């Protein structure tokens, strides 16, 4: 009994000191997003990007609390994404997806560490993920990650590691997750070295008892000469794409496609012209394959734009004015080419306001 009394007294004495060192606050936030995305692709050239229009408005209110100490800030937020597809006459799916996550900021002597865990917006990722890793359709339709995100930032270095668990084992659903990582080092005012990587684990269901590996790594170098002139960005980025594809139980050996990617970017007066070119092997060789259950791998296995084979070119013109720090507007046109010519084009108008 005396032991428990002593423990209670110790807690009572330490609580005031803890309260002095930490600060509790109620938190709130909100995100609004409007998107018009129209895709027109030629069926005659067997384009794997479907034509169609995505047109919606989304609103995500968030509430929660934070606890802040001299070095660490903890917060917990919860909310729900509310949305409507333009032209739809039903409101059955007005509540789209729950959002609930823990966030921590840790201040260190030579940098800062940040972590997310739960269901959180994809926009919390800051790495350089190109079209080979995340397609525009994935960014549009899969807006939230289910898992965790870790970031480290110092004066000249940034790195992040992300786990997105997007499938549970079941009768017809596979256990699957995606681990991605990106980082960069600012070597000089105009030179950056970095990497982007993705590890896709596409495991079994009760029907399909086979595992498929889909991994992709891109080390890259970027030279930005805008610091020496009045351009907002004037850069050249070159990367080496190394893939690893293995359909266990069906293929005798893994497929290791190699390719090179070159990205040219010019931005001035908030107008951007960008061209991305890929030359090399097929980075998605299993795209049209069927699993033992007769389900195509397609976008279940691959998250990137399904054009990275032999030759692929993407040209984009965009206007992105700076209106407010928390308001983003983008109007863009994108043109897709392969070795046969024009695959199709895309028109985008997006508006995002975030608190």
- List the one residue out of 112, 109, 58 whose CA is nearest residue 81: 58
Residue 89: pLDDT over 90: no
Contacts of 3 (CB under 8 A, 6+ apart): none
Q: For position 318, which CATH number holds?
A: 2.40.160
The three-state DSSP-derived secondary structure of the chain is: CHHHHHHHHHHHHHHHHHHHHCEEEEEEEEEEEEEEEEEEECHHHCCCCCCEEEEEEEEEEEEEEEEECCCEEEEEEEEEEEEEECCCCCCCCCEEEEEEEEEEEEEECCEEEEEEEEEEEHHHCCCCCCCCCCCHHHHHHCCEEEEEEEEEECCCEEEEEEEEEEECCCCCCCCEEEEEEEEEEECCCCEEEEEEEEEEEECCCCCCCCCEEEEEEEEEEEEECHHHCCCCEEEEEEEEEEEEEEECCCCCCCECCEEEEEEEEEEECCEEEEEEEEEECCCCCCCCCECCCCCECHHHHCCCCCCCCEEEEEEEEEECCEEECCEEEEEEEEEEEECCEEEEEEEEEEEEEEC
Q: Is residue 47 part of a domain?
A: no
pLDDT band per the 50, 70, 90 thresholds, residue 43: low
* Cα pseudo-dihedral 136, 137, 141, 144, rounded to 10: -40
Contacts of 64 (CB under 8 A, 6+ apart): 26, 27, 28, 75, 76, 77, 78
Q: Is residue 121 part of a domain?
A: yes
Residue 276 lies in a domain: yes
Q: How confident is the model at residue 17 (pLDDT cuts 50, 70, 90)?
A: very low
For the chain, what percent of residues have pLDDT higher than 90? 68
Q: Whole-number mean pLDDT of the chain?
A: 89
What is the C-alpha separation between 61 and 33, in angstroms, rounded? 12
Asked whether residue 82 is assigned to any structural domain, the reply reads no
Length of the chain, in residues: 355
Overall average pLDDT of the 119-136 stretch: 94
Task: Identify which of 261, 172, 247, 185 has the alpha carbon closest to the alpha carbon of residue 217.
Answer: 261
Q: Hey, what long-range contacts does 58-61 have (CB within 8 A, 24 or more apart)? A: 58/31, 58/32, 58/33, 58/34, 58/82, 58/83, 58/96, 58/143, 59/30, 59/31, 59/32, 59/33, 59/83, 60/30, 60/31, 60/32, 60/99, 60/121, 61/28, 61/29, 61/30
Distance of CA 294 to the CA centre of its chain: 29
Residue 19 has pLDDT above 70, yes or no: no
In a domain, 94, yes or no: no
Residues 59-73 pLDDT 10s: 999 999 999 998 999
Residue 45 lies in a domain: no
Q: Is residue 99 part of a domain?
A: no
Give residues with Cβ within 8 angstroms of 114, minimum separation 6: 103, 104, 105, 106, 149, 150, 151, 152, 153
Q: For the ranges 37-41, 116-120, 239-243, 312-316, which has the lowest average pLDDT?
A: 37-41
**pLDDT given at position 15:** 40
Q: What pLDDT is stored for residue 295 in this prediction?
A: 84
Structural domain tally of the chain?
A: 1
Which residues span the domain enclosing 239? 106-354
Residue 38 lies in a domain: no
Dist. CA 49–CA 66, nearest whole Å: 43
Q: What is the pLDDT of residues 293-307, one digit of tens each?
A: 888 888 889 999 988
Range from 47-51, 166-170, 253-257 carrying the lowest mean pLDDT: 47-51
For residue range 214-235, list pLDDT tens digits in order.
Answer: 999 999 999 999 988 889 999 9
Average pLDDT over residues 334-343: 91
């Amino acid at each position: 009994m005396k032991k428990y009394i002593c423990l209670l007294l110790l807690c009572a004495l330490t609580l005031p000191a803890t309260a002095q060192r930490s600060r509790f606050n109620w938190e709130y936030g909100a995100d609004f997003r409007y998107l018009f995305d129209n895709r027109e692709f030629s069926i005659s050239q067997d384009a794997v990007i479907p034509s169609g229009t995505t047109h919606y408005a989304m609103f995500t209110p968030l509430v929660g609390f934070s606890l802040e100490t001299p070095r660490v800030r903890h917060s917990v937020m919860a909310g729900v994404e509310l949305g409507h597809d333009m032209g739809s006459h039903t409101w059955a799916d007005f509540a789209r997806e729950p959002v609930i996550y823990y966030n921590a900021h840790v201040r260190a002597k030579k940098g800062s560490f940040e972590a997310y865990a739960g269901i959180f917006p994809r926009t919390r990722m800051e790495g350089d993920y190109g079209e080979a890793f995340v397609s525009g359709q994935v960014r549009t339709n899969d807006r939230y990650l289910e898992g965790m995100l870790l970031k480290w930032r110092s004066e000249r270095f940034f790195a992040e590691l992300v786990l997105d668990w997007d499938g549970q084992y079941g009768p017809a659903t596979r256990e699957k997750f995606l681990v991605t990582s990106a980082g960069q080092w600012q070597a000089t005012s105009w030179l950056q070295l970095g990497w982007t990587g993705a590890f896709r684990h596409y495991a079994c269901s009760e029907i399909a008892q086979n595992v498929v590996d889909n991994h992709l790594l891109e080390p890259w170098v970027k030279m930005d000469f805008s610091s020496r002139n009045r351009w907002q960005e004037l850069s050249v980025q070159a990367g080496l794409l190394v893939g690893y594809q293995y359909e266990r139980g069906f293929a005798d050996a893994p497929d290791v496609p190699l390719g090179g990617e070159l990205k040219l970017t010019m931005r001035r007066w908030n107008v951007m012209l960008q061209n991305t070119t890929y030359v090399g092997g097929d980075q998605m060789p299993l795209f049209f394959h069927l699993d033992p259950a007769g389900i195509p791998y397609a976008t279940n296995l691959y998250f990137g734009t399904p054009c990275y084979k032999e030759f692929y070119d993407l040209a984009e013109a965009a206007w992105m004015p700076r209106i407010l720090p928390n308001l983003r507007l983008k109007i863009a046109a994108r043109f897709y080419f392969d070795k046969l010519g024009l695959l199709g084009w895309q028109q985008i108008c997006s508006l995002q306001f975030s608190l």
